[in-house]
Amino acid sequence: MEVACTVRLPIFEGPLDLLLHLIKRNEVQVSDIPIATITDQYLATLEELPELNLDGAGEYLVMAATLVYIKSRMLLPTAEDDEEPEEDPRGELVQQLLEYQRYRDVALALGERAVLDRDVFARDPEALGPPAAGETAEPCVRDASLADLLDALREVLRRLRPPAVHEVAREEISIGQAVERILARFVMAERMEFTSLFAVDRTRAEVIVTFLALLELIRLRVLRAEQPERFGAITLALAVATVAEATERVHDLGRLEAGWRGEGEHHGDGDRNG
């Protein structure tokens, strides 16, 4: 990304940004652009580009074509006997510029706020306990989306201890084994915290295998991921009556279709794939 940026126009964030710059420099209104002048200056600026990188330049060139087209339409005489009044050929571009300008202004204002960890600082957050019933803003339990799960995974990975200096022989664990490990945990409890699922995992690889196994179990509708509070902790619950039923379903469905079927020695079939 950094490389591409150096080849692109360094100061402008795109064709609209460049146009707004030219409009400001000419001290004209966005709503009444002197299209001929602006087009000439726009094209001149493009020519000043040291090297046109095709990726970045494409967007500028499309805008150049649009400008030239609008300019040509402005030059055409309007037919006198037209029933409908000719609409301003600049209309659409003006709308686009005004809209972009608004967001650009918001962006500027955001950047000047007291930004956390740049201008202001807070303590590292502690996890709050679950809220008492009835205190949540969204009382109904909602299912956690994949995005919620990924957020939670990122948090687990972040909290993972840095690896010890010495190399430890890696314990290979397959998704199939991780599935069974997870289900075994549900023999004791019907629900558990998302993070507690990863309590025994030591490495990123282990965390990720556990996570993939969890996704698999959710896909097979054996487990449910619930998030009572938006951005809150995710709870996992058994979506079937018993673990035995869960195991059965995993065997019926999971082994048939999923990719983790063949890996490692699952259920003692003992063939190592090399």
Interface positions with other proteins (CB under 8 A): 1, 13-17, 56, 59, 63, 95-96, 98-100, 102-126, 128, 131-132, 135-137, 145-147, 150-151, 154, 231
Q: Which is nearer to other proteins, 150 or 184 (CB)?
A: 150
Measure the CA–CA gap between 74 and 35, rounded to whole angstroms: 8
Measure the CA–CA gap between 154 and 211, rounded to whole angstroms: 11
The CB-of-56 to other proteins minimum distance in angstroms stands at 8
Q: Which is nearer to other proteins, 61 or 184 (CB)?
A: 61
Q: Which is nearer to other proteins, 175 or 207 (CB)?
A: 207
Q: Which is nearer to other proteins, 56 or 89 (CB)?
A: 56
Q: Which is nearer to other proteins, 11 or 79 (CB)?
A: 11
The CB-of-96 to other proteins minimum distance in angstroms stands at 7
Inter-residue contact 197 to 223 (CB < 8 Å)? no
SS3 150: helix
Q: Among 16, 63, 76, 68, which Cα is nearest to 40's?
A: 68
Distance of CA 38 to the CA centre of its chain: 37
The tokens of 140 are what? 């109904």
Q: Which is nearer to other proteins, 25 or 261 (CB)?
A: 25
The CB-of-190 to other proteins minimum distance in angstroms stands at 21
Q: Which is nearer to other proteins, 79 or 120 (CB)?
A: 120
The CB-of-104 to other proteins minimum distance in angstroms stands at 6
Q: At what angle do helices 146-159 and 204-219 cross, to 10 degrees?
A: 160
Measure the CA–CA gap between 38 and 36, rounded to whole angstroms: 6
Amino acid at 105: D
Q: Among 203, 152, 214, 220, which Cα is nearest to 178's?
A: 214
The CB-of-161 to other proteins minimum distance in angstroms stands at 20
Measure the CA–CA gap between 52 and 9, rounded to whole angstroms: 9
The CB-of-218 to other proteins minimum distance in angstroms stands at 16
The CB-of-8 to other proteins minimum distance in angstroms stands at 9
Burial class (CB in 10 A: 0-12, 13-18, 19+), 272: exposed
